[in-house]
Amino acid sequence: MKIQNGAVSALLGGAILLAAGCESTSGQAEDARIYRTVAAQLDTGGTYYQIMNPRYVFEAADRIGVQLFNSFTSMPEPPENFTEIMDASLHMALAYRLSGLEDIQGCGSSSVRVSDDREPLLFRNRTFLAVRPESKGFLWALPGTENRPLAASWNALPADVDSAFEFELRPDAVYRVFAQSEKFSQYLHDERIALFVGEPPEKLLAGLSGVVGFASIAAEGSDEALSGNHLMLSLPDGEGKLAGLLRKVVLFLPGTKVENERIEFGTVLGEHAPKARPVAMLKEGRITLYSSLAAEKAFTAPEKKLAATEAFQRLSAGLPESGIGYLYNNESYAKVFNLLMEEFELSFRVNPDSWTPSQLTVLTRDGNNFLATGNSSLDSNQSKLVNQLVLPVAVGSMAAKEYLKRNGGLLPGAEESAEAPDTTGECQIKLELFKDALAQYAERHGGAYPEKENIEGIRALLAGKFLPLEATVCPGAFGEDEPAESPELFDIGNCSFIYFGGFTTKSNPKLPLVADWPFNHRGAVNVLLVDGTIEKLELETDNCKRIVSKLQTMYQYNEKEFQNLIRQADKLDKMFELE
């Protein structure tokens, strides 16, 4: 059962990177050493900032794995190929362990505001893994230093590219792991493959280790498009072995044309893309594959390049000048992903956050063997992952205690005080989700935000699927508020925020849209304003009118604006007897 649970954990998306390789270390001295090691590399300030011993992440991921495993096995008919999936995930977990990730010493995250006049709420989010120098490189090539600028090929991508990534991969290491599986080794029979390619597959794959690139462009309605997309895949082939293999394969494909460095395949994609003729370019130690002639033209002769777009320039500004991998996706890709997540929500009764569209992520490392993830804008999914897996479980560790002491907070149960740690930073992340939701709502309603105030206004955001249910609960509300199970069941008991209704995008930019419930945090209240800024008010309050009064002293609203705010606040105070 333990092995199976660990195997399921290996399927947990972002958690697998940490979960499959983390081993427990013990003792406060070890926790303190981890803290010092990681803290030396982290940016300070920003929305959140935390360091922890990774064994807690493993434990959290394993708990999720148990839930997934139990849900699968309790089904009247488990998913097709369930056993094969379990076997595959078990070997994938082994592959991660062989990568050296079991040597992770610590991890942490920070979110630092980037100064940018055009985008005042631009953050650089970083997530770090600290590993021992002797670790062996694998999928993410953790050790060593190989700094390089953002690849020039990114600037040459078409402006309408939906998604692109570039990572360092080690397929030979993956092959070695799966070759040890009795079930999978029958598909990886060395002698038969070696007879065809002329050498053992592991040696061939070693020549393919390196930077892999991928990009896609939406092409709905084109009979040359593969699943509605034009695709490009770029593979390393330093010794030309894969190119030699391709030249052998094309002999068996009717209609294929070979011209020096270019191979134009016959129509081999069948009903998936009936008129598509894939193309391969064999040049300068790399193989670039295009899904069709139209895809080749779209990528090699674009009318406008990605580098020329304002969005890409803004997103890539201020990013680290080094990296082992890059990932870019534009808004249309995010919308498609959100549709898939909606289906997931309906099937599994969960309500995941929607992805922040138009972002560029850079994976970097330095001489101290730290892997960093830098995002150009606040990524709600990354923030949610950090909130769920990192921040809560770190409480009680020496690392978290040291951090809280340095920043004026104290842990629950600590001798010094019984006060809870500051959660205003986590709360601001929730208000970022409100900001995005309100912007989308206003875009569809002629610039108007929900007319009705408080609960009814927030219901309008939930009903339109602009806002995830998790965003309605503040992490600082004494842990009492729980998200509603559905928008229809949402009520005051599932909400930690106040919504001021009746404003538009043209209203006074300093009017409040959403604010903390008075008791969410001790000594502070977060407020989202019409202009999108999030203010942290240093304020001890036990009613809503005091929040409005504080804002009035800061921004000097006119009489009509002030009376409207006081009326809404007074209504809430009377409802809950907060006079």
373 and 426 together in one domain? no
**Residue 395: which pLDDT band, with cuts at 50, 70 and 90?**
very low
Which is more confidently placed, 544 or 175?
544
| Cβ pair 104, 18 in contact under 8 A | yes
Q: How many domains does the chain have?
A: 2
Does residue 60 lie within any of the structural domains? no
Residue 571, C-beta contacts closer than 8 angstroms, at least 6 positions apart = 453
pLDDT in tens, 50-91: 344 444 444 444 455 555 666 666 777 766 666 666 555 555
Coil, helix or strand at residue 543:
coil
What gap in Å lies between CA 488 and CA 491, rounded to an integer? 9
Least confident of 124-138, 160-174, 297-311: 124-138
What gap in Å lies between CA 133 and CA 143, rounded to an integer? 6
3-state SS of 91-122 is: HHHHHHHHCCHHHEEEEEEEEEEECCCCCCCE
Does residue 5 lie within any of the structural domains? no
Least confident of 133-142, 157-166, 218-227: 133-142
371 and 435 together in one domain? no
Does residue 95 lie within any of the structural domains? no
Out of 329, 361, 384, pick the residue that ends a domain: 384
pLDDT in tens, 260-283: 889 998 876 666 667 788 899 998
339 and 438 together in one domain? no
| Cβ pair 26, 57 in contact under 8 A | no
Residue with tokens 């050296």: 100
What gap in Å lies between CA 132 and CA 116, rounded to an integer? 36
Out of 337, 369, 384, pick the residue that ends a domain: 384
**Residue 364: which pLDDT band, with cuts at 50, 70 and 90?**
low
Residue 389 is given by DSSP the state I
Structure token digits, residue 492: 């005051």
φ/ψ of residue 422, rounded to 5:
-70, 125
Residue with tokens 């991998």: 325
Which is more confidently placed, 362 or 26?
362
Q: In 145-291, which ranges are E strands?
A: 163-169, 210-218, 229-236, 257-259, 262-264, 279-283, 286-290
Coil, helix or strand at residue 281:
strand
377 and 428 together in one domain? no
356 and 497 together in one domain? no
Structure token digits, residue 68: 């997934």
Q: Which of 153, 209, 169 is nearest to 328 (CA)?
A: 153
112 and 260 together in one domain? yes
Name all contacts of 509-512 with Cβ < 8 Å and 24+ positions apart.
510/551, 510/554, 510/555, 510/557, 511/557, 511/561, 511/565, 512/547, 512/548, 512/551, 512/565
Which is more confidently placed, 233 or 309?
233
pLDDT in tens, 499-517: 999 999 999 999 999 998 8
What gap in Å lies between CA 105 and CA 34, rounded to an integer? 6
112 and 207 together in one domain? yes
| Cβ pair 256, 264 in contact under 8 A | yes
Cα-only R_g, the chain? 26
Question: Does the pLDDT value for residue 362 go beyond 50?
Answer: yes
240 and 333 together in one domain? yes
What gap in Å lies between CA 168 and CA 275, rounded to an integer? 33
Question: Exposed, middle or buried: residue 131 (CB in 10 Å: 0-12, 13-18, 19+)?
Answer: buried
Domain interval for residue 129: 25-53+104-384
Does residue 197 lie within any of the structural domains? yes
Question: Exposed, middle or buried: residue 493 (CB in 10 Å: 0-12, 13-18, 19+)?
Answer: exposed
> How many residues are there in the chain?
579
Out of 357, 384, 411, pick the residue that ends a domain: 384
- The pLDDT mean for the chain works out to 65
Question: Does the pLDDT value for residue 285 go beyond 80?
Answer: yes
Does residue 321 lie within any of the structural domains? yes
337 and 431 together in one domain? no
Question: Does the pLDDT value for residue 461 go beyond 90?
Answer: yes
Check residue 295 and give its pLDDT. 92
75 C-beta neighbours (distance < 10 Å), count? 9
What gap in Å lies between CA 280 and CA 38, rounded to an integer? 44
Residue 494 is given by DSSP the state G
Does residue 537 lie within any of the structural domains? yes
Question: Does the pLDDT value for residue 103 go beyond 60?
Answer: no
**Residue 186: which pLDDT band, with cuts at 50, 70 and 90?**
low
Largest CA distance in the chain: 86
376 and 459 together in one domain? no
What's the Cα-to-Cα distance from 244 to each of 211, 260, 292, 293, 486, rounded to whole Å?
19, 12, 21, 22, 56
38 and 178 together in one domain? yes
196 and 246 together in one domain? yes
Does residue 392 lie within any of the structural domains? no
As beta bridge partners, residue 235 has: 287
Check residue 131 and give its pLDDT. 46
Which is more confidently placed, 9 or 41?
41
Does residue 281 lie within any of the structural domains? yes
Coil, helix or strand at residue 206:
helix
